[in-house]
């Protein structure tokens, strides 16, 4: 009875006092079709109420027999192989997570993880894996087309002079030095004693929230507080941003949800701040700790920059971030990388209409000042890098309508001002390429091109010597005490960089018929004056701080193509005049006293200049030069061509064709002197003739440019 009650319909029990018959194991067909509850009676309650025939299935449907899938031995081995690989991947991920956020440094560090100290979480920017970066100190030096072509000419020049050593009584030590120079230029990749650059970490665009490891906020705030008080620190810091504006980005990164632009700005600012701030510390432990934090910022910055998305939002923040990244790579002499980020920043400025006087939408006074300031900083950097890399500029003057005359009168939030004089010099830099060195200018006759070159040199000299109130006030605020060497070195570095540009301009002018040289008198004069200025500055460098020395070298020797060294090197070989050696030596010694922490590329340039100086020292022989000139009575080039079997040219024709040789060499054209194709005669060793205006800095360090043609 109890079993029947359990299997019966409760509704039927309420209507009937008679016991139901035994329940069927399955529901009837009618209930199954109507999808109602069946009490499995015979007949069931629902069918009885509807007075329908209650029919049950005769038996349960037999369940299909399961069969094991046939798996061959090949499939089994593949599955096992995939399982092993998956285990390795999981183990690698666990190892990365355990070592997440750590940087190997020789000094102890008190780094603070933001997950423990601040509520910052960076969505979409998880650091998932380490990507080793190749050492680019030898094979991928950032490129400088102007310096590359001039160095190629100088090296070929010295090589040919050594080949005529039996006429010029050259010391037997010259050839080994020249071979060492050639070997140094051929060196490639790591393994030459240079430290490798820091590793970068890949950033996954779809990663979950993770945390960057940043310097402790107490240390960062102490450095920012010192920055506000010290005009010297502000001068060595960032031109692109004001301290107050940087503090806003700083707190966004440390306490909010920052964008990639915020991260780039803060990491650039902290790295540029912690390096000089650490140098001011007297305690060695504090110095090491702050330097380790600066290295941490550098690693994070390079990781972010190396993994930027292809499509970048066109915003003011991203334009500012990319400009700061450009300055970072310029300071490391990575000109090719700097150009890439500058191109993106310039494109954003054009997209947002920063180059126009009338904005596309209403803007506040502070917004206008900041966007105009940002645009002109991008403009100045564009003109300087374009001339450095021998490329057309990104921002064309005919497209710009925004005014600059009144901008320098007021600065934004006490930021360092931009002098209108600097903007005008940038305009002249753009004209130097367009009117002298561009492919279109090279196709024009030499006479009008030389006339424009002289006019540009005079115009640039007049502008450099002119007075600018904004520039003068900028320099007056720099010194903190009378014994500070920084103001004097900055002024000399500015003049040395200017003279290097003047020398470059005069290099495009053919020498007169009575010089007997490959260089015109103006070119030689400006090169000598440039190195004389540097020699006087070197006496100050010996007592300067390491950071001041590095700033001077960046500004004086690396900001512009340092052609004067190449010109005087060739002139010393040409005339065998020992008076030029002292000026060449000053350049080498300045590079030798650079701090050890400087980028590897500085050491590469130092070694090349050292070897060139050594070649010049061993080649120059005053007595031999006098004797040779007396005996042969013809210019040095006459000796070289006579030894090569070329008919001796008249003096005028000789100078003209050698200048033509230099221009053809610089831009990769067919090189001929006196009807002889130098490419066919094998005067070039290796593939120096392959250098052209599309080559960039470092191409003359690559073995592909010096090895035998296959």
* Span 261-283, pLDDT tens digits: 999 999 999 999 998 888 888 88
What pLDDT score does 516 carry? 72
Q: Is residue 152 domain-resident?
A: yes
Give the confidence band of 314 by pLDDT, cuts at 50, 70, 90: very high
The string over 436-447, giving b where at least 16 C-beta atoms fall within 10 Å of a residue's C-beta and e elsewhere, is: bbbeebbeeebe
Residues of the chain with pLDDT > 70, as a percent, come to: 64
The pLDDT value recorded for residue 70 is: 60
**Interatomic CA distance for residues 560 and 500, integer angstroms:** 7
Longest dimension (CA), the chain: 146
Residue 647 token pair: 């008919």
Pick from 278, 389, 401, 273: nearest CA to 337:
389
501 with 449, same domain: the answer is no
> Best-predicted range by mean pLDDT among 2-11, 305-314, 340-349, 358-367?
340-349
Residues 34 and 166 occupy one common structural domain: no
599, 659: one domain: yes
Domain of 612? 145-170+494-705
Indicate whether 681 belongs to any domain.
yes
Answer whether residue 581 is part of any domain. Answer: yes
At residue 684, the pLDDT reads 30
Shared domain for 450 and 517, answered yes or no, is no
Residues 566 and 684 in one domain: yes
Q: Do the strands 676-677 and 672-673 form a parallel or antiparallel pair, or are they unpaired?
A: antiparallel
Predicted local confidence at residue 482, as pLDDT: 57
Give percent above pLDDT 90 in the chain.
25
Is residue 534 in a domain? yes
- Which residues lie across from 130 on neighbouring strands? 201
> What average pLDDT does the segment 43-53 reach?
89
Rounded CA gap, 543 and 536, in Å?
Answer: 13
| Phi, psi (rounded to 5 degrees) for 676 | -100, 125
111 falls within a domain? no
For residue 115 the two structure tokens come to 């997950």
- Quick: pLDDT tens for 517-557: 788 989 999 999 999 998 888 888 877 777 788 888 888 87
Structural domain includes residue 223 = yes
The pLDDT value recorded for residue 685 is 27
pLDDT given for residue 445 in this prediction: 92
Residue 422's contacts (CB-CB under 8 Å, 6 or more residues apart) are 380, 471
Higher pLDDT, 391 or 143: 391
At residue 9, does pLDDT exceed 90?
no
**Structural domains of the chain, count:** 3
In this structure, what token pair is assigned to residue 367?
């917004």
CA-to-CA separations, 584 to 120, 532, 554, in angstroms, rounded: 53, 10, 18
Q: Do 523 and 458 fall into the same domain?
A: no
Query: Do 372 and 297 share a structural domain?
Result: yes
Stretch 166-174: mean pLDDT: 63
Nearest 5 degrees, angle CA 249-CA 250-CA 251? 95
pTM of the model: 0.69
What are the pLDDT digits (tens) for 652-702? Answer: 444 444 444 444 444 433 344 333 333 333 323 233 333 333 333 333 323
Q: Are residues 398 and 514 both part of a single domain?
A: no
Enter the tokens of residue 675: 């009807």
Q: Which of 465, 482, 505 is the last residue of a domain?
A: 465
Average pLDDT over residues 324-328: 95
Q: Return the pLDDT at 7.
A: 47
Shared domain check, 516 and 408: no
Same structural domain for residues 503 and 566? yes
> Are 501 and 452 within one domain?
no
Asked if residue 427 has pLDDT above 80, the reply is yes
176 inside domain = no
In a domain, 588, yes or no: yes
pLDDT at 105: 36
**Under a CB-based contact definition with an 8 Å cutoff, are residues 325 and 341 in contact?**
yes
From residue 81, alpha-carbon distances to 457, 687, 706 in Å are 71, 49, 47
What's the pLDDT at 358? 85
* 317 and 425 in a common domain: yes
Phi, psi for 639 (deg, rounded to 5)? -65, -45
First to last CA, the chain: 104
The first and second tokens of residue 401, run together, are: 């309508």
Tokens of residue 644, six digits:
């090569």
Q: Rg (Cα) of the chain, in Å, rounded?
A: 37
């Amino acid at each position: 009875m109890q079993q029947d009650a359990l299997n019966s319909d409760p509704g039927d029990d309420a209507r009937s006092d008679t016991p139901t018959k035994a329940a069927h194991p399955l529901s009837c067909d009618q209930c199954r079709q109507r999808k109602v509850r069946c009490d499995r009676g015979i007949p069931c309650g629902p069918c009885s109420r509807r007075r329908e025939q209650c029919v049950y299935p005769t038996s349960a449907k037999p369940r299909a027999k399961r069969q094991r899938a046939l798996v061959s031995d090949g499939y089994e081995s593949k599955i096992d192989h995939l399982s092993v690989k998956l285990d390795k991947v999981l183990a690698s991920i666990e190892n990365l997570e355990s070592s997440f956020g750590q940087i190997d440094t020789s000094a102890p560090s008190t780094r603070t993880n933001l997950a423990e100290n601040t509520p910052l979480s960076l969505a979409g920017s998880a650091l998932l894996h380490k990507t080793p970066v190749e050492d680019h100190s030898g094979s991928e030096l950032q490129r400088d087309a102007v310096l590359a072509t001039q160095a190629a000419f100088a090296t070929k020049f010295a090589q040919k002079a050594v080949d005529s050593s039996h006429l010029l009584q050259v010391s037997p030590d010259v050839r080994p030095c020249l071979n060492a120079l050639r070997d140094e230029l051929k060196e490639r990749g790591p393994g030459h004693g240079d430290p490798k650059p820091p590793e970068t970490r890949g950033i996954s665009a779809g990663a979950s929230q993770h945390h960057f490891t940043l310097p402790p906020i107490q240390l960062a705030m102490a450095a920012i507080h010192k920055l506000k008080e010290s005009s010297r620190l502000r001068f060595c810091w960032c031109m692109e941003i004001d301290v107050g504006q940087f503090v806003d980005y700083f707190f966004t990164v440390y306490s909010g949800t920052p964008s990639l632009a915020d991260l780039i700005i803060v990491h650039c600012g902290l790295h540029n701040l912690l390096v000089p701030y650490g140098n001011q510390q007297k305690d060695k432990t504090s110095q090491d700790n702050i330097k380790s934090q600066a290295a941490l910022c550098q690693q994070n910055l390079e990781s972010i920059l190396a993994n930027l998305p292809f499509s970048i939002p066109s915003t003011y923040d991203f334009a500012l971030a990319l400009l700061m990244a450009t300055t970072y790579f310029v300071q490391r002499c990575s000109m090719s990388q700097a150009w890439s980020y500058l191109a993106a920043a310039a494109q954003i400025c054009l997209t947002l209409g920063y180059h126009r006087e009338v904005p596309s939408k209403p803007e506040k006074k502070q917004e206008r000042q900041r966007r105009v300031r940002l645009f002109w900083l991008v403009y100045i950097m564009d003109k300087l890098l374009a001339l450095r890399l021998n490329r057309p500029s990104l921002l064309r003057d005919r497209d710009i309508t925004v005014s600059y005359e009144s901008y320098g009168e007021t600065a934004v939030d006490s930021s360092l001002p931009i002098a209108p004089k600097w903007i005008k010099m940038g305009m002249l830099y753009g004209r130097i390429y367009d009117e002298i060195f561009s492919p279109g200018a090279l196709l024009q006759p030499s006479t009008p091109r030389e006339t424009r070159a002289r006019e540009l040199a005079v115009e640039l000299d007049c502008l450099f010597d002119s007075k600018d109130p904004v520039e003068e006030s900028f320099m007056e605020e720099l010194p903190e005490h009378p014994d500070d060497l920084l103001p004097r070195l900055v002024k000399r570095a500015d003049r040395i960089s200017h003279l290097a540009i003047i020398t470059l301009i005069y290099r495009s002018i053919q020498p007169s018929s009575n010089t007997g040289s490959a260089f015109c008198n103006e070119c030689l004069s400006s090169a000598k004056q440039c190195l004389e200025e540097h020699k006087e500055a070197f006496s100050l460098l010996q007592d300067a701080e390491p950071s001041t020395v590095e700033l001077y070298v960046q500004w004086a020797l690396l900001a512009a193509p340092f052609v004067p060294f190449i010109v005087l090197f060739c002139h010393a070989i040409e005339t065998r005049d020992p008076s030029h050696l002292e000026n060449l030596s000053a350049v080498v010694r300045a590079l030798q006293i650079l701090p050890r922490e400087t980028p590897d590329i500085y050491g590469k340039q130092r070694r090349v200049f050292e070897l060139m100086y050594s070649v010049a020292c061993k080649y120059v022989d005053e007595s031999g030069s006098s004797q040779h000139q007396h005996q042969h009575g013809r210019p040095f080039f006459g000796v070289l061509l006579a030894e090569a079997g070329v008919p001796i040219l008249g003096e005028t024709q000789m100078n003209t064709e050698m200048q033509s040789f230099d221009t053809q060499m610089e831009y990769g054209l067919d090189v001929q002197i006196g009807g002889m194709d130098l490419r066919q005669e094998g005067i070039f060793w290796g593939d120096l003739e392959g250098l052209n205006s599309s080559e960039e800095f470092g191409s003359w360090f690559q073995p592909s440019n010096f090895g035998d043609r296959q």
